[in-house]
Structure 1
Amino acid sequence: MNDILRAPAAPQLPAPDVIARDYARVRGASETLCRPLITEDFGLQTAEFASPPKWHLAHVSWFFETFLLEPFLPGYTVFHPAFKSLFNSYYEQVGHYHPRPDRGFLSRPSVEEVYAYRAHVDEGMRALFARSGEDCWPAVVQRTRIGLNHEQQHQELLLTDIKQHFSVNPLRPAYRTDLAPVSTGQAIPLQWFPHEGGLVRAGHEGNSFAYDNEGPRHQVFLNAFALANRPVTNGEYLEFMEAGGYKEPALWLSDGWSAVHRLGWTSPRYWERHEGTWMEFTLGGLRPLDLAAPVSHVSHFEADAFATWAEARLPTEFEWEVAASALVLEGNFVDSDRLQPQATSGEGLVQMFGDVWEHTASAYLAYPGYRQAAGALGEYNGKFMSGQMVLRGGSCVSPADHIRATYRNFFYPHERWQFQGFRLARDL
């Protein structure tokens, strides 16, 4: 099987004990995220787009078993032959997979058996790290890095899916009751930061990890533009709503206006009105809406409609990347343990990383010179380059060491269960 990455190999590969430590850290983080759950939570699937927690835990183990242990560890015995299809997500070249909408039907295997599966795979990976020879070590390192970043993606999905599952429970359960309270501060004033445009370079280069869809690095011409210093806030989005934003077809793309009516949108996902007060369902339960925090759980269509109403637009992914590349990569990630977008202060461009994935005006397409890798791992990103939009920057439930300025997330324009927000741009 060919590998997904096309970045050049690092001059010196890490030693087995270094990779083993990284592996143990990331795998342990997934199980830490599941500690607040009770057994009944692990099998929940309340929407076709959201998976049960135990499926996430098993799928990431399936990834290591399928792409590392079976091809590289002599004598490895799979944990359960049926898991090859039960926990395959979408890899057609690996074989049959259980339908995504039916993942919640799997009352068996039990949660206990899923954790046993993880332990079995972890034992195999430790053996692989200890025994790999020089001939296969570069491939083992490369695929392990893919697998660890893949598991970090599913850690974010774990939290966003749990939020979806709990939100439809009339009891409004909290995933965690110890999360920080809603802030009472004011949003910093909106400012515009100009960029002269011109010919720029975009995309990943170098020896550090990146997905194949982040390259090749290439030239892009940008017209002069200005970028807002911060994302749009809940308070500003509320003004859009009160001005009739969801009732004015002139503000919306045609497919967006259809989605408003088909899906019954009148506010961002997880907003609720109780006795005249806006509340928001969070991973800490139902809380008063923080007007100064970035708006989240809005679709590309909603972001675009707001931008039209505000006489602005969404930035392209390249405008966003050029602005972000000059910044220190820091922000409100899952490591901050807030698990909710936060109001902030500061000068210059703030909250470019963390808090909310930021919608862009760019369709998720291949960069010039991109070639999808052969083999099953080539299905990871390339085959989804149709009908989706690019988001940048990570969110409050993304691991900090998983995000880069070149990272391209992608969702369909109507989806909004992720922590998705946006900042505005203008032409100069």
Structure 2
Amino acid sequence: MNLATSLRQTPLAERLREVRSLTAALAGPLSDADATVQPMPDASPAKWHLAHTSWFFETFVLAEHVPGYRPHDERWPFLFNSYYEGAGDRLARDRRGMLSRPRLDEIMAYRAHVDEALDRAMPGFDAEALTLIELGINHEQQHQELFLTDILATFAANPLLPAYAEAAPAKPGAASTPGWTEGRRGEAQMGADGDEFTFDCERPRHSVWLQPHAIADRFVTNAEWAEFIADGGYRTAGLWLSEGWEWVKREGITAPLYWHEDGRSFTLAGLRERDPQAPVAHVSFFEADAFARWAGARLPTEAEWEDHARITDPAAGHQLDRAGAVMPAAGGALFGDVWCWTGTAYLAHPGFRQPPGTVGEYNGKFMSGQMILKGASCATPRGHSRATYRNFFPPAARWQFTGVRLARDL
């Protein structure tokens, strides 16, 4: 039994308590002011993540499956609904940083209220409610990663460059020559089936055809990215997609996000010397695609990556286990450290049907203008990901722990 299977077999109530406790622990180092700031429209304040994940359980589980349940505060659904049209009106996303109230302690009390209500009701829940609990657990794990990446963006915007948490001194990795693993050719299966939890967008399982290809045995490193920069990678229009080149010029992009010219990078532990052999992180799809062209390679397709990962334990590698500063480290694990950009657009698998009801808005309506990422990062809760998992972001996004693993045709 691999670690991922073992984690999935933990009783649901225990997993719920562990996930909710980890989210609360992630907030431990923050002041009320820290938790209120919204550094950009794509990122949300820590207080909002703490409240929204509780709103999710309150709205879709408690209000629907606990007779007589009364919301903690009738005014708060407007504040903490994210994008669910069926759940009513909501505060505009780019205004979340204006929520100086409720205070952080009031939001933590809200979390405690929801936790107690869930704990009392769990023994009597039917299968539908338990299915929503499972969805809520996985939803909160997604927000745990967003919590950390958004706090990193928040502190990076502060001229004092404060650290979110302490971290042990990094151990520089050893330089290694990249190798290539030949992938399967011909017909293969991708997508999820069976009874284990997956998000709706991972289904159904279907046939794909794989052309001869190989995938690199490790991520692109900081040292290799420095070579790309030195060779004029950000100044050579021919390496870039048209939209990407316009983005580079408009935004003045010259290096990965959080890189400083003195050889350091900003991390959740503050400014740190960059490990040349650690995976490059915080690069956009545009950058990943340009680097691949420069390297004489390409990005893997979603199908290639998923087939490559089919016999790998997705809970292995460098992933999130507890609160604290996390950052990518040198190593060759397929899961962990950084998410892998693919060359595949986020679209529906053949046969996909969006589930009915408000909760069906979770994934399907975002299948436009986004690219697929595979794997997991150092901020992904261990056990959350799997080979069929479909992370997705717009091509210019780079505040997540996103990196590059190359592929090439054979």
TM bucket, shorter chain: over 0.9
Distance across 2 between alignment mates of 1:402 and 1:196 = 26
Name the CA shift for 1:94/1:244 in 2 (closer, same or farther; >3 Å).
same
> Partner residue of 1:255?
243
TM-fit CA distance, 1:188: 2.2
How many Å apart are 1:32 and its aligned residue? 0.7
**Matches of residues 159-308 of structure 1 in structure 2 within 5 Å?**
159-177=148-166, 179-274=167-262, 278-308=263-293
The answer to whether structure 1 residue 139 and structure 2 residue 128 are counterparts is yes
Matched, 1:126 2:119: yes
TM-score, normalisation: structure 1? 0.92
Of residues 227-236 and 39-48 in structure 1, the stretch that sits farther from structure 2 once superposed is 39-48
Matched letter for residue 394 of structure 2:
Y
Give secondary structure in 1 for the equivalent of 2:34.
Answer: helix
2:139 is matched with which residue?
A: 150
* SS across alignment from 2:249: helix
Aligned pair 1:101/2:100, yes or no?
Answer: no
Asked whether 1:424 is paired with 2:406, we answer yes
1:185 CA drift (Å): 2.7
Matches of 2:150 and 2:44, distance apart in 1: 6
Residue 208 of structure 1 deviates from its aligned partner by: 1.2
Structure 1 unaligned runs (5+)?
1-13, 345-349
Say which SS state the counterpart of residue 426 (structure 1) adopts: strand
Mapped to 2, the partners of 1:403 and 1:18 lie a distance apart of: 18
Deviation at residue 303 of structure 1 after TM alignment: 0.3
How far apart, in 2, do the equivalents of 1:332 and 1:83 lie? 36
Structure 2 residue identity aligned to 1:331:
G
User: In structure 2, what is the equivalent of residue 400 of structure 1?
Assistant: 382
Match of 2:304 in 1: 319
1:125 and 1:195 map into 2 onto residues whose CA distance is 45
| Matching residue of 1:383 | 365
> Identity rate of aligned residues, in percent?
51
1:328 maps to 313
* Residue identity in the other structure for 2:391: N
Q: Mind listing any 5+ residue stretches in structure 2 that lack a counterpart?
A: 1-8
Q: Select 2:394's aligned residue among 407, 412, 425.
A: 412
Q: Aligned partners of 2:132 and 2:312: how far apart in 1?
A: 29
1:358 aligns with 2:340: yes
8 Å Cα contact 1:187/1:233 also seen in 2:
no
Distance in 2 (CA, whole Å) between partners of 1:298 and 1:223 is 27
For residues 124 and 196 of structure 1, do their structure 2 counterparts lie closer, same or farther at Cα, with a shift above 3 Å needed? closer
- 1:36 Cα deviation after fit: 1.1
Q: Deviations over 1:115-147 (max 9, x none)?
A: 111111111111221333xxxx11111000000
Conservation of the 8 A alpha-carbon contact between 2:163 and 2:267: yes
Q: CA deviation at 1:196?
A: 4.0
Question: Contact conserved, 2:320 with 2:381, CA < 8 A, in 1?
Answer: yes
For the residues of structure 2 that align with 1:343 and 1:220, how far apart are their CA atoms?
32
Alpha-carbon distance, 1:183 to partner: 2.4
Give the SS at the match of 1:183. coil
CA shift, 1:218, in A, is: 0.2
Contact 2:57 2:114 in 1 (8 A): yes
Q: Name whichever of 77-86 and 182-191 sits farther off.
A: 182-191
Can you list the C-alpha shifts for 1:141-183, whole angstroms capped at 9, x where unaligned? 1000000000000000010000000001111100012x12222
Q: How many residues in Structure 1 have an aligned counterpart in Structure 2?
A: 401
Q: Which runs of 4+ in 1 moved over 6 A?
A: none
Matched, 1:112 2:105: yes
Matched position secondary structure for 2:120: helix
Deviation at 1:189, TM superposition (A): 1.4
- Give the residue type in structure 2 aligned to 1:167: A
Cα distance, 1:338 vs. partner? 5.9
The CA RMSD measured in Å over matched residues stands at: 1.4
Following superposition, the deviation at residue 39 of structure 1 comes to 2.1
Q: Which residue of 2 aligns with 1:68?
A: 61
Letter in 2 for 1:425: A
Deviation per CA, 1:64-93, whole angstroms, max 9, x where unpaired? 000000110011111111111110000011
Distance 2:313 2:58 in 1: 36
Q: Is the 8 A contact 2:268 2:325 kept in 1?
A: no
Contact 1:180–1:338 (Cα < 8 Å) also in 2? no
Q: After the TM superposition, which of the residue ranges 140-149 and 329-338 deviates more from structure 2?
A: 329-338
Alignment of 1:2-13 (within 5 A): none
Cα drift, residue 199 of structure 1:
0.3
The CA distance in 1 between the partners of 2:13 and 2:176, in whole Å, is 43
Name the SS of the counterpart of 1:303 in structure 2. helix
Is the contact between residue 358 and residue 422 of structure 1 (CA under 8 Å) also seen in structure 2? yes
Please name the residue that 1:34 is paired with: 27
- Cα distance in 2 for partners of 1:148, 1:403 equals 13
